[in-house]
Chain A
């Protein structure tokens, strides 16, 4: 590492003061599990002023609102995966956090860092998109919010202003009766970088018609993708095995439409289709057994 300067404030006020005084380009550090790797490979952060957020307790809180939870950006994946409130309110995110890297990484790496790294393969991005999460940004105390899908400009780049950082993530609680599935596909069981993630949320009405259906596909496009027209297309229709097959095929057909035919399309399209169909059928079966029970 060859940072020009290194600041590790303990409060947001101290952070703003340091940011105002520093003239060099700023880089915000979280656990550094990506920054140190990227810096080792290319010296990407040489000459920058480092602002380390890891000592700021205000960024490590979980706040419960009536309809949402608000997560500080410095919460680690391990903390999110094990938090009872979050497992109850936003379980797909907890499932994703529990599978990131290995234990050592989950103990350090943070949700703010995962978003800030803006990797197309970022494991939390798909579930956050499916859950309609928005990201709270802070520029010297001036706040604004952006949906997670709009925050990522391109791989590795967020739409952030100079000296603006990720402060928190607000996620609406999953409504009562909403079912979910999340699956990460990698090349090995542990320590794998996602090749594809699929998050599906489904709310079935008592008559088995679809009340809400959302899908977010991660690690396939430059940013996690939702498909609002696909979600609208099937809303109100009855769900059975044939409908699950049709919905899954329609979802997977978006991959070549949007990303073009890439070498990975040969497996990402069928895997997306099969996973989506399996999820929908499982959730249909769960709903049926719940009614019987």
Chain B
């Protein structure tokens, strides 16, 4: 099958890409664009390691076709540092011990980023719901929740 053209913004940059329609968004990010911060865990939408933010919403990059990138605005963990909320989240994760092996961290950060875009001051229950699709096998979640609360408290 021929490649198809998609027009999107990734981490703030306009992109005109030719993608293989049999690829997933995750494959395009990692293989074609070398944005390997987005991880592949389960590949079936259960672990959340591949979470990216598409049109301000957290989505699993393993469950979206490459062609569905067309017309969207996508943020991956690589773009987070340039965003005020993103930078605060990164600092808070580091300072609260929210990172151990680090495999879940990019997805966890992107879920947290999508949450803070929607609600800059979420309660603990909202934080728990927002990261319920992101599995972490190291931290026990408590420091991650504390980090997100910390990042939110730094936002006026």
Residues of A within 8 A of B (CB): 1-6, 8, 29, 31-33, 36-37, 40, 50, 52, 54-55, 78, 101-105, 107-108, 189-191
Contact = CB atoms under 8 A, between A and B. Distances in A.
Interface string B38-81: 00000111101001000001111011110110110000000000
Interface of B: 1, 4, 21-24, 43-46, 48, 51, 57-60, 62-65, 67-68, 70-71, 111, 114, 129-130, 132-134
B43 A40 contact: yes
Given A3-B22, A8-B70, A102-B133, A29 B65 contact: yes
Contact of B71 (A1, A55, A78): A55
Nearest to B44: A37
A105 B133 contact: yes
B48 to A, nearest CB: 6
The A interface is mostly helix, strand or loop, or mixed, namely loop
Contacts of B114: 103
B67 to A, nearest CB: 5
Contacts of A5: 1
A103 B130 contact: yes
Given A6-B4, A6-B21, A37-B45, A103 B133 contact: yes
A191 B46 CA distance: 7
Contact of B68 (A3, A52, A101, A102): A52
B60 A104 contact: yes
Contact of A103 (B1, B43, B129): B129
B51 A104 contact: yes
B63 A33 contact: yes
Contacts of B129: 103, 190
B132 A36 contact: no
List of 5 A-B pairs having minimum Cβ-Cβ separation, nearest first: A102-B133, A6-B21, A190-B132, A107-B57, A1-B22
Contact of B1 (A4, A29, A40): A4
29 contacts: A1-B21, A1-B24, A3-B22, A6-B4, A6-B65, A8-B68, A32-B68, A33-B45, A36-B44, A52-B67, A54-B68, A55-B70, A78-B57, A101-B45, A102-B132, A103-B58, A103-B111, A103-B114, A104-B45, A104-B59, A104-B60, A104-B111, A104-B133, A105-B45, A105-B60, A105-B63, A108-B63, A190-B129, A191-B46
A77 to B, nearest CB: 12
A97 B1 CA distance: 36
A189 to B, nearest CB: 8
Nearest to B130: A103
B60 A1 contact: no
A102 B42 CA distance: 15
A1 B63 CA distance: 12
A2 B1 CA distance: 9
B62 A36 contact: yes
